[in-house]
Amino acid sequence: MNLVFLGPPGVGKGTQAATVAAALNLAHISTGDLLRAAIAAGTKTGLEARASMDAGRLVPDEVVNRLVRERLQEKDAAGGALFDGYPRTPAQAQALDGILRDLGRRVDRVLDFQAPDAVVVERIGGRRTCPRCSAAYHVTWAPSRRDGECEKCGGKLEQRSDDRPETVKHRLEVYRRDTRGVSEHYRSSGTYVMIAADREIAAVTADVLEQLKGLK
Ligand code: AMP
C-alpha cells in the first residue's frame, strides 16, 4: 500500500504518519526528515537544500524526487510507503506517479489533513523536535515525559529553526501557493479523502485507520 499525507505544515500529519506507518508496517518517507538528515551529514544535497529550508522556501523538485526514488529502493519500502510532506508541487505529484509506476505500484490513498490557520500556527509554535530521531512533541498537547529530552532516544529537544514565527508565515504562503494544487492532482482520482485534523491526536488516528480499512 502506498499512501500520501497532504496538508499544511504543522497540521499534525507527521505525528499521524509515524503512528500509521508503524501500525501498517509501511516505510515512513518524510522528505523534510530526509533533507534534514542530508544537511546533518553534510552531503551535496544537504548543502543545496539548506538555504531554501532556512528561508521556508521549497527545495527544487528534482532534488526531492531523487531522494524519494533512492529511498524507495531501500528494503523496508518494498511492502509499501507512507509519503509525508511529499509531493508538495503538482510536478512532484506527477513525478511520484512515474516513480511508483516504474515499480509497478501506485498511490492507493491520499489523505488531506485540514485545520484552521490559527490551529496550525499554534501547533508549529509549540512543536519541539528531536534532532536525532525526528520525533515530534508539543509543549502543551503532547509534551515529552522526559523533561526537554526525547522519550524515544534521549536526544535534546529543540525548536526547528524554520518553526520560528517569521519563517512559518512564509511556509504557509508557500503551501497556499504551491501545494494546494497537489490536492487537485488527486481529487479526481477516487483516492482522495479529507481529514479534519482539528481534533485530539487519537481521534484523528482512529479516523485515518478507518479510512484505510480494506486497503492492502
Ligand atoms: P517539513 O519537515 O515537511 O515541514 O519540511 C521542512 C522544509 O523542507 C520545507 O519547508 C522545505 O523547505 C523542505 N521540503 C520538505 N519536503 C519538501 C518537498 N516535498 N519539496 C520541496 N521542499 C521540501
In a 3-state reduction of DSSP, which class is residue 58?
coil
pLDDT above 80 for 216: no
- Cα angle: 37, vertex 186, 103; to 5 degrees: 60
Question: Quick one: three-class SS letters along 68-136?
Answer: HHHHCCCHHHCCCEEEECCCCCHHHHHHHHHHHHHCCCCCCEEEEEECCHHHHHHHHHCEEECCCCCCE
Domains of the chain in sequence order? 2-26+79-211 (3.40.50.300)
> Model confidence over 18-48: pLDDT tens digits?
999 999 999 999 999 999 999 999 999 999 9
Ligand 1 atom nearest the C-alpha of 9 is: 4
Q: How far apart, in whole angstroms, are the C-alpha atoms of residue 42 and residue 114?
A: 34
Answer for the pair 96, 86: CB distance below 8 angstroms, yes or no.
Answer: yes
Taken as a whole, the chain contains a residue count of: 216
Closest Cα to atom 11, ligand 1: which residue? 58
Give catalytic status of residue 156 as yes or no.
Answer: no
Q: In what order do the strands lie in the sheet with 81-84?
A: 27-30, 81-84, 2-6, 109-114, 192-196
Give catalytic status of residue 13 as yes or no.
Answer: yes
pLDDT above 90 for 207: yes
Q: What is the DSSP string of 154-176?
A: -PBPB--GGGSHHHHHHHHHHII
Q: What is the pTM of this model?
A: 0.93
At residue 17 the predicted structure's pLDDT band, cuts being 50, 70 and 90, is very high
Answer for the pair 162, 36: CB distance below 8 angstroms, yes or no.
Answer: no
What's the mean pLDDT in 156-166? Answer: 92
Residue 15's pLDDT is: 94
Cα(112) to ligand 1 centroid in Å equals 16
Give catalytic status of residue 127 as yes or no.
Answer: yes
> Model confidence over 65-85: pLDDT tens digits?
999 999 999 999 999 999 999
Residue 180's pLDDT is: 82
Most informative mutation of 31, 68, 177 for ligand 1 (most atoms within 8 A of CB): 31
> Model confidence over 91-118: pLDDT tens digits?
999 999 999 999 999 999 999 999 999 9
Residue 165's pLDDT is: 87
What's the mean pLDDT in 152-167? Answer: 93
> Model confidence over 117-155: pLDDT tens digits?
999 999 999 999 999 999 999 999 999 999 999 999 999
**Residue of 50, 66, 160, 199 marked active site:** 160
Residue 55 DSSP label: T
What are the pocket residues of ligand 1 if the criterion is a CB atom closer than 6 Å to any ligand atom? 9, 31-32, 35, 52-53, 56-59, 64, 85-86, 88, 92, 162, 171
Q: How far apart, in whole angstroms, are the C-alpha atoms of residue 20 and residue 26?
A: 8
Cα(214) to ligand 1 centroid in Å equals 31
Q: 505544515: which residue's cell?
A: 9
Q: Name the average pLDDT for the chain.
A: 95
Give catalytic status of residue 106 as yes or no.
Answer: no
Answer for the pair 108, 98: CB distance below 8 angstroms, yes or no.
Answer: no
Most informative mutation of 16, 59, 68 for ligand 1 (most atoms within 8 A of CB): 59
Residue 16 DSSP label: H
